[in-house]
């Protein structure tokens, strides 16, 4: 009986799986056993006809088995890197969603994409990336009267309201409130969008609409000046400036770590008056925990040891999930961060912003002025000139500007 080759051969450059390699070699070995008079070339030709695999591929498989003793699974080619938006872009997306709430409209992916497309301060993103980002910043679709509404998680809503109540209370008590944050300036900064009115009121309006800095990095290449500073209604704290160069081109948060920030914070906080409040966000280097608390990855005995050390009562015959549930009820009391520990020594309170709520931090408006000035004056695109421009403009952020921003 004549055997015909498959009508559809393997796709060009498509790697064979391990099982396919084994089948082809089994066909080869069967032909070799049943036709002992065939030459090597004839066996390979017959195998090629029966399997639909090219002769060169079969020879490669024979050579691979001869050298290694067996065939192996194909090596997977690295996929396209996943695109991740930076913190500033996430803040802008959250504000766009809230703008629909204010207009009493239902936000949809298409509507949000259309709004983002009109905003030059954020790069064009795909529908899929937008959906993932919304999920990442704690938005979710919920059913109401047969309609799917995009809503923030209850935790974020409560966090924001608690923050606003706290800052209001501190101001009522006339406590000194300082606002801390990091930013960066690329040596290739140019003006992309600039406000017609340079006063802080119009800057604030542009900021709320999504133009957080009004400028863009044209190439993403070159050195960057990483800046950490802190200020209040009286202006920048003289001893609160930290700057250093970086050659990385990704999110500036990559250049900071908890060791660098905690060293800076420990020295800077000595110059703050006692009973002050420091507002900061929840960047990872702001949030290193002094002690780890139980998670689902902990072994049962580790959870038992933790509960025992904390003096938390539990029954002896509980399973791991029950022990973890008990730990979750109590662990918030033991979630202490290194920054808060440093602040307590100087009688300073740390107030944390809700995630992706950078517009609640007045220092962002000051950064907008600083970076806007550098963008307008930057003509050499050299780090040396960027530093000179920064040193010049940082002294021009007056207490009056700060008061308006706050």
pLDDT in tens, the chain (406 residues): 444 444 444 555 677 888 888 899 899 999 998 898 999 899 999 999 888 888 888 998 898 888 877 777 776 666 566 677 888 888 889 989 999 988 888 898 999 999 998 887 788 888 999 999 999 898 988 776 666 778 888 889 999 999 999 999 999 999 999 999 998 888 775 544 433 334 444 445 544 444 343 334 444 456 889 999 999 999 999 999 999 988 665 555 567 889 999 999 999 999 999 999 999 999 889 999 998 899 999 999 999 999 999 999 999 899 999 999 999 999 888 888 999 999 999 999 999 999 889 889 999 999 999 988 998 888 888 888 999 999 999 988 899 999 999 9
Which pair of tokens denotes residue 292?
């780890």
Residue 275 falls in which region: left (phi positive, over 0), alpha (psi -120 to 50) or beta: left
Torsion of the alpha carbons at 108, 109, 110 and 112, rounded to the nearest 10: 80
Select from 3.30.420.10, 3.40.50.970, 3.30.200.20, 3.40.50.720 the CATH code of 173-290+336-405.
3.30.420.10
Q: Rounded to an integer, what distance in angstroms lies between the CA atom of residue 283 and that of residue 287?
A: 6
Contact 44, 63 (CB under 8 A): no
Q: Are 121 and 216 in contact (CB under 8 A)?
A: yes
End-to-end Cα distance, the chain: 89
Whether the full predicted model's pTM is greater than 0.85, yes or no, is no
Q: Are 356 and 137 in contact (CB under 8 A)?
A: yes
Tell me the C-alpha distance between 126 and 406, whole Å: 35
What residues contact residue 165 under an 8 Å CB cut-off, 6+ apart? none
- Both tokens assigned to 406: 């706050």
Q: What are the φ/ψ torsions at residue 334 (nearest 5 degrees)?
A: -115, 5
Q: Encode 178-229 in three state secondary structure.
A: EEEEEEEEECCCEECCCCCCCCHHHHHHHHHCCCCCCEECCCCCCCEEEEEE
The total of other beta-carbon atoms located within 10 Å of residue 18's CB is: 12
Which of 225, 228, 256 has the alpha carbon at shortest distance from 241? Answer: 228
- Whether 362 and 280 have beta carbons less than 8 Å apart is answered as no
How far is Cα 189 from Cα 364, in angstroms, rounded to an integer?
18
Residue 119 pLDDT: 84
Phi and psi torsions of 58, nearest 5°: -65, -40
CATH topology for 87-152?
A: Arc Repressor Mutant, subunit A (1.10.10)
* Integer Cα distance of 342 and 350 in angstroms: 10
CB-CB neighbours of 53 under 10 Å: 24
- Per-residue pLDDT at 380: 85
**Is 52 buried (19+), middle (13-18) or exposed (0-12) by CB count in 10 A?**
middle
Closest listed residue to residue 259, CA positions, set 226, 291, 284, 223: 284
Does residue 185 contact residue 225 with C-beta atoms inside 8 Å? yes
- What distance in Å separates the CA atoms of residue 263 and residue 288, rounded to the nearest whole number? 13
How many Å apart are CA 404 and CA 402, to the nearest integer? Answer: 5
Domain residue ranges in the chain: 18-68, 87-152, 173-290+336-405
Tokens 């009562």 correspond to 313
Q: Considering all CA atoms of the chain, what is the largest pairwise distance in Å, rounded to the nearest integer?
A: 100
| Cβ atoms of residues 406 and 178 within 8 Å | no
Query: Angle between the 87-102 and 127-136 helix axes, to the nearest 10 degrees?
Result: 90
Pairing verdict, β 277-280 and 349-352: parallel
Residue 43 makes CB contacts below 8 A (sequence gap 6+) with 28, 31, 32, 35
Residue with tokens 């290193």: 288
Give the three-state DSSP class for 242: strand
Which pLDDT does position 146 carry in this prediction? 65
Residue 82: CB atoms within 10 A of its CB come to 7
The pLDDT assigned to 189 comes to 59
pLDDT value of position 308: 94
């Amino acid at each position: 009986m004549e055997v015909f080759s498959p009508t559809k051969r393997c796709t060009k450059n498509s790697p064979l799986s391990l099982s396919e390699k084994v089948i082809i070699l089994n066909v080869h070995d069967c032909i070799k056993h049943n036709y002992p008079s065939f030459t090597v070339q004839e066996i390979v030709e017959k195998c090629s006809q029966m399997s639909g695999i090219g002769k060169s591929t079969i020879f490669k498989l024979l050579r691979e088995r001869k050298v290694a003793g067996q065939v192996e699974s194909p090596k997977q080619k690295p996929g396209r890197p996943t695109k991740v938006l930076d913190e500033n872009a996430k803040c802008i997306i959250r504000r766009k969603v809230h703008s629909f709430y204010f207009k009493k409209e239902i936000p949809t992916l298409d509507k949000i994409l259309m709004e983002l497309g009109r905003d030059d301060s954020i790069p064009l993103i795909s529908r899929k990336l937008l959906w993932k980002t919304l999920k990442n910043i704690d938005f979710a679709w919920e059913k109401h009267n047969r309609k799917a509404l995009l809503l923030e998680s209850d935790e974020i809503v409560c966090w924001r309201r608690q923050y606003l109540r706290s800052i209001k209370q501190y101001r009522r008590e006339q406590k000194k409130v300082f606002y801390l944050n990091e930013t960066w300036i690329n040596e290739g900064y140019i003006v992309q969008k600039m406000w017609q009115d340079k006063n802080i009121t119009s800057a604030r309006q542009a900021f709320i609409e999504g133009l957080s800095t009004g400028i863009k990095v044209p190439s993403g290449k070159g050195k960057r000046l990483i800046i950490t500073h802190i200020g209040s209604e009286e202006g920048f704290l003289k001893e609160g400036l930290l700057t250093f160069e970086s050659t990385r081109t990704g999110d500036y948060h990559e250049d900071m770590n908890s060791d660098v920030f905690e060293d800076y914070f420990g020295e800077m906080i000595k110059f703050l008056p006692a009973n002050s409040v420091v507002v900061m966000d929840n960047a990872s280097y702001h949030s290193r925990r002094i002690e780890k608390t139980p998670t689902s990855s902990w072994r049962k005995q580790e959870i038992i040891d933790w509960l025992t050390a904390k003096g938390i009562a539990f029954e002896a015959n509980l399973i791991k999930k029950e022990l973890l549930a008990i730990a979750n009820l109590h662990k918030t009391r033991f979630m202490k961060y290194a920054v808060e520990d440093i602040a307590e020594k100087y009688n300073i309170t740390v107030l944390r912003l809700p995630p992706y709520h950078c517009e609640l931090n007045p220092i962002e408006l000051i950064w907008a002025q600083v970076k806007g000035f550098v963008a307008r004056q930057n003509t050499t695109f050299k780090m040396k000139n960027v530093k000179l421009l920064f040193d010049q403009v940082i002294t021009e952020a007056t207490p009056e500007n700060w008061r308006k921003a706050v």
